[in-house]
Structure 1
């Protein structure tokens, strides 16, 4: 009789022992299958989300480091502004597809109205401390980063042309909310009447009229995220609403125009309140925006960029948004990796010991085969075949149950942990004024993209890991077979 037939009869007739071995492999297979499913799913969601976030990197003030070096927030000194030369030097990197840089400015307004967040009690709160403020954001490109990254979209009019940007003409794109607040539309001239707020000796403040900047509105925009929330019927949290309001109160114009307005405001401020502007720095703040060729280049570029940035700055990428709310996913990936290793190690030990115990009861069977001239190699093949037959059935079933187990465990952990991390990251953004380079990532985005499913890579990876584990587990039983002495067994 061939060893194939002997293996089949051994498995089918020894039902009790076959079921025990089946149960052991099935349970261990569930652990391995669940861990592999989680590991692959976490890797897929991270890759998918980072592709959606894009590969954009900027430089911003490292508030954490400055706070560590300072005794208090009041003592914290802002670093010197970045220089255009540094920005252009970093832009020469082989990882950069294209780049832009933005000068920024902040105008405290008089009659011109910024958008205010209305609360349930009909009172309004401003993101800038109850002040009527607009943020100026300069660009050299006809499509600023916030538009190309789908953070906001143009809903009326057009973007400033290349000629208008290069010559610094007084044209701008504002939010539809701000335009509606002031009864303006595309083609109108908006007059930004600014004020200088000075501190009196008694502690009170006084507002003095400063300048009036006439700028033509060429386009209107709306945030993309807000519209998505409305369509889904979901309202954002208070942090999200504040960040959206800050976006509404942003005006996009050329870098030259921002610099010109900043210079005029500085000179007028010195004239109206010399004491406050005596030690003021007139250096324009510049924010670089680098679009990389691939999200896979982000880490390498950040390391290269950090070496060129001056003290007090750090490189921040659009993919960092995932790191803020996707920490639970990364923890799951790490834990599942450990589980796979431990489960395989446990499987090797347990399966080996179970099979050796079963083989000890069959030593007379092996002794008879050897006495009849059967080769040890054929007996070893029979042992391996018996293991593989039982293991294949157990592993095929554990593919399904292990996948379901991994799905239930991982989704519960992702939902709970990501919610906490999302709130913490949103709070930090509000405190430190962090900026979002691309679409703002929320907990719902991570959860909706996280999915444990059957895939060819999952099936192949599990079967390879399972079969390899069983074959390695057969090493100890085969050693036992090799040491059998038919004379001693038959005596």
Structure 2
């Protein structure tokens, strides 16, 4: 009888020992399978959420970590130079980049869309958003959808032509369409201490409409009861801001800002409007870098931050997950620790159990060796026995362990063990400009799901079978040291 048949007979004849080994591997296998299921699920959540958030980054002043220094520096903080913005844009991680000038126009003749909400009562005017990228990054990243007309040409950008894109609601409000000439009547107002407003001047900026867009971020679910009141208000504010945004070439925005400042200085040189301002305030740019993959964010940060002026940092769209995905990270860490502990425990327990069984079978093994059987065959018999029993146990625990992982993770998520601070509003300020998705802790929890996947099955079987084979090393060393003459005496 060859050693393979002996192994099969040994497993079926010695049912008690086989069941003990099966039970040990099954219990430990459930722990490993459950932990791997949780770990794989948390990693899948991180990947899917970051993919949804996109791979966009910007460079901005780090208010969060340098509040005192920024307060002391005031208007002396160094502004980002266009040359540095372009140098960063040459990074191999960058797919394309843009940098945006910003402006604001209070208007009367050109009507902005007013919200019915009391939260935004009296907010009239338009955000002027410049672009150096003809295709417009917000169009490319699907923050807005072009419904009529076209985007800029390179000539529009280079020459700073007075052409722009407006939202469909603003177009309807003012009876405008593509090809029409609209006038942004920028009003210079003086706000009195008692709350009164006095108009000082009007500056007309003629703009030819070349495109009309619709925001893709204004879709709101009125029945979504999970959103807090603050989150709903914030989303409404972002929606109204997007609707009342006019896209223009950078040079057009910069020129209108400079003209406005010059006019204001002539009319009201002592106005509080100029406190902390300087001559270059109209040429402040916000860079936007669209990376090739969300996986490149950390590498891009490490490469870029040494190049930045003091007090600046890199912010990315995926930072939303980093800020409020703490529960998933904790659960992933916990499951990782449990996998390591379970593997170590499995190695020790299986090694000791099998070694004890080997001692009881010392005479059986001695007979095989004394009859001339090779040690390699005897060792092969033991390995086959272990693989048969462990294979059945691991396959069964693959199913029950997944179910166990689901129960444990749901229990952890509903407990206070993984709770993180909820005060994230200030930390997420500004990140909404990088991603069309406003991420909440509930979004992350809802994305979490423990399920069977090829990655889970392969990882578990590799870890499980690898652990069993490593556990066989000690019993095999025992066989190598067996002396059949002493055993048979």
Q: Which residue of 2 aligns with 1:454?
A: 452
> How many Å apart are 1:446 and its aligned residue?
4.3
CA contact (8 A) 1:114 1:178 kept: yes
Tell me the distance in 1 between the aligned counterparts of 2:198 and 2:261.
15
Deviation (angstroms), 1:433: 4.0
Distance 1:15 1:87 in 2: 72
Q: Render the CA deviation track for 1:313-362: whole Å, top value 9, x for unaligned.
A: 21122333433344433333333322222111110011112222333333
How far 1:467 sits from its partner (Å)? Answer: 1.4
Once the two structures are superposed, residues 272-305 of structure 1 have per-residue CA deviations (whole angstroms, 9 ceiling, x without a partner) of 3212226522322101222334444332222222
Shift of 1:149: 0.6
Aligned residue for 1:156? Answer: 148
Q: 1:103 Cα shift?
A: 0.8
Give the 3-state SS of the residue equivalent to 1:454 in structure 2. Answer: coil
Change (3 A) 1:445 1:150: farther
Does residue 1:190 correspond to 2:187, yes or no? no
1:251-286, Cα deviation, whole Å (9 max, x unpaired): 111111101110111112212321222652232210
User: Which residue is 1:302 aligned to?
Assistant: 301
* Residue among 201, 207, 211 paired with 2:198: 207
- 1:101: Cα distance to partner? 1.4
Per the TM alignment, residue 421 of structure 1 is displaced from its structure 2 partner at its CA by: 7.0
CA contact (8 A) 1:98 1:291 kept: yes
Aligned residue for 2:135, secondary structure, equals: coil
Counterpart among 217, 229, 233 of residue 209 in structure 2: 217
Return the alpha-carbon distance in structure 2 between the equivalents of residues 47 and 455 of structure 1: 15
The correspondence for 1:125, drawn from 120, 125, 131, is 120
CA RMSD of aligned residues (A): 3.4
* Distance (Å, rounded) in 2 between the aligned partners of 1:78 and 1:40: 48
Q: Can you list the C-alpha shifts for 1:147-177, whole angstroms capped at 9, x where unaligned?
A: 1111111223332333333332322212223
Please tell me whether the aligned partners of residues 322 and 441 of structure 1 are also in contact (alpha carbons under 8 angstroms).
no
**Distance (Å, rounded) in 2 between the aligned partners of 1:291 and 1:389:** 52
* Inter-CA distance 233–146: structure 2 relative to 1 (3 Å threshold): farther
Question: Cα deviation per residue 1:409-430 (whole Å; 9 max; x = unaligned)?
Answer: 446656889x98796545533x
Query: What is aligned with 1:470?
Result: 468
What SS class does the counterpart of residue 438 from structure 1 fall into? coil
TM superposition shift of 1:30: 1.7
Secondary structure of 1:115 counterpart: coil
1:91 aligned residue: 89
Q: Which residue of structure 2 lines up, in the alignment, with residue 256 of structure 1?
A: 251
1:104-115 pair list within 5 angstroms: 104-110=102-108, 112-115=110-113
Counterpart-to-counterpart distance in 1, 2:266 and 2:275: 10
Alignment of 1:212-361 (within 5 A): 212-227=204-219, 229=221, 237-275=232-270, 276=272, 277=274, 280-283=277-280, 284-361=283-360
Q: Does 1:141 align with 2:133?
A: yes
Question: Are the counterparts in 2 of residues 95 and 293 from structure 1 also a CA contact under 8 Å?
Answer: yes
* Inter-CA distance 420–380: structure 2 relative to 1 (3 Å threshold): closer
Map Cα deviations across residues 32-84 of structure 1 (whole Å, 9 max, x no partner). Answer: 222223333333443344444443322122111331536xx798667332121
State the distance in 1 between where 2:307 and 2:372 align. 77
Distance 1:89 1:155 in 2: 34
State whether residues 184 and 205 of structure 2, in contact with CA within 8 Å, keep that contact through their aligned partners in structure 1.
yes
Counterparts in 2 of 1:329 and 1:313: CA distance versus 1, 3 Å: same
- The 1:216–1:94 alpha-carbon spacing in structure 2 relative to 1, beyond 3 Å, is same
Q: Secondary structure at the match of 1:65?
A: coil
| 1:172-212 CA-partner distances (Å, limit 9, x unpaired) | 21222333444544444433333334354x55453324323
| 1:21 corresponds to 2:15 | no
User: How high is the TM-score relative to the length of structure 1?
Assistant: 0.85
Tell me the TM-score normalised to structure 2 length. 0.85
User: What are the within-5 Å matches in structure 2 for residues 45-84 of structure 1?
Assistant: 45-69=45-69, 79-84=77-82
- SS state at 1:146 partner: helix
Q: 1:78 to 1:388 in 2, by over 3 A?
A: farther
Cα offset, 1:489, TM superposition: 5.0
| 5+ long unaligned stretches in structure 1 | none
Cα deviation digits, residues 394-439 of structure 1 (max 9, x gap): 111122222233344446656889x98796545533xx44443233
1:280 is paired with a residue whose SS is coil
In structure 1, distance between residues paired with 2:308 and 2:446: 37
Query: How far apart, CA to CA, are the structure 2 residues paired with 1:224 and 1:425?
Result: 24
Tell me if structure 2 keeps the 8 A contact 1:115–1:177: yes
Task: Tell me if the contact between 2:114 and 2:123 (Cα under 8 Å) persists in the aligned partners.
Answer: no
Counting matched residue pairs gives 479
